[in-house]
Structure 1
């Protein structure tokens, strides 16, 4: 007589003391003690470990919300002023390569578009590009889009 319940798969073979079965498969159970780097009870260490892995898996540009820093794909970092940070953060909120208009930029800065001196944006962008080449050793993928504004031409990921 068959019951309507599915059959349970057989239990995995018992480990031989090193945490792996005879075929080399690591077995995890409810008694696992966390990461080998002793991250139990230390969520900040765990977060840093996870972010490090994410950077290795996503080799784009990373914007740190906590430290207001921009990290290049080569691992070099540069500190950002609050204005530069707010400017770069806008590109993380849109698709890669999507242009952000000057009007959107000025409004994000909390300024009136009609009375804002547009040269201030150009000057900030020029300084930011120079700073990136100096601090990071890479060209910032910040593109000027004629008539449309600016775009960021590479993957930009926000880190908490």
Structure 2
């Protein structure tokens, strides 16, 4: 599990970021000021950092400059309300890998983190992959789509796709998916599963421009009908 250290002084946003990152499969440590960062930062464990600029005890840019001067290889994303072109240029110049404004959708932040993690090779080596294969990575929960942007996933969507993609080309019964979600099949309102599948199809389509290759098998279940791989 990739460790992410988050430096954000606003309590509500700090909590939101922590919950969001944990849901994506990262191990977040969320801190409120520079002093706490200096005490809590572990370069072995924290390979990614999300850093605000305006902090109660100093400037995040100076922290980034210190990290780079010390040769720390941590991947850094600035996430700040200060988002003019001059702010972005300065942040990238002192050593940030990416600079996002706080008005950015959290899906953009998730995709940026996933891209940075790939660039820094923060995953164990995998077996050779099929070039046109849909890949579900459960470590952070992201879906890699051939020829399209990576899509971050919620825990429930990752569970559903894991059931389907691990048995690509086969019919997966509704009861199997429902039990994988931790629900009692006999008590579960199956309309919830249909709603989740519809929402997942829309999300994949809107973020990637690709149709999710899942067909509904009448009165039975669902089938993922393209080549697929699940990375655990």
Asked if 1:45 corresponds to 2:127, the answer is no
Describe the superposition over 1:93-131 as per-residue Cα deviations: whole angstroms up to 9, x where unpaired.
22x221111111111111111110111000000000000
Cα offset, 1:60, TM superposition: 1.0
- 132, 137, 162: which is aligned to 1:59? 132
**Higher relative contact order, structure no. (Cα contacts within 8 Å, ≥ 6 residues apart):** 1
Unpaired runs of at least 5, structure 1: 1-43
The question of whether the paired residues in 2 share the 8 Å contact of 1:107 and 1:113 is answered with yes
Cα offset, 1:75, TM superposition: 3.9
Cα offset, 1:158, TM superposition: 1.6
Q: How does 1:10-159 map to 2 (within 5 A)?
A: 45=121, 54-55=128-129, 57-94=130-167, 96-159=168-231
TM-score normalized with structure 1 length = 0.64
TM-score normalized with structure 2 length = 0.45
Bigger fraction of residues in helix: 2
Question: What CA distance in whole angstroms lies between the structure 2 residues aligned with 1:126 and 1:143?
Answer: 11
SS of 1:97's partner is: coil
Describe the superposition over 1:46-69 as per-residue Cα deviations: whole angstroms up to 9, x where unpaired.
957x55x934x4321011121100
Bigger fraction of residues in strand: 2
Question: What CA distance in whole angstroms lies between the structure 2 residues aligned with 1:100 and 1:90?
Answer: 7
Question: What CA distance in whole angstroms lies between the structure 2 residues aligned with 1:86 and 1:107?
Answer: 10
Which structure 1 residue ranges, 4+ long, deviate > 2 Å from structure 2? 44-48
**How large is the Cα RMSD of the aligned pairs?**
2.1
Cα offset, 1:159, TM superposition: 2.5
Q: 1:103 to 1:47 in 2, by over 3 A?
A: closer
Describe the superposition over 1:31-83 as per-residue Cα deviations: whole angstroms up to 9, x where unpaired.
xxxxxxxxxxxxx73957x55x934x432101112110001111421111100
Q: 1:87 to 1:46 in 2, by over 3 A?
A: closer
Unpaired runs of at least 5, structure 2: 1-119
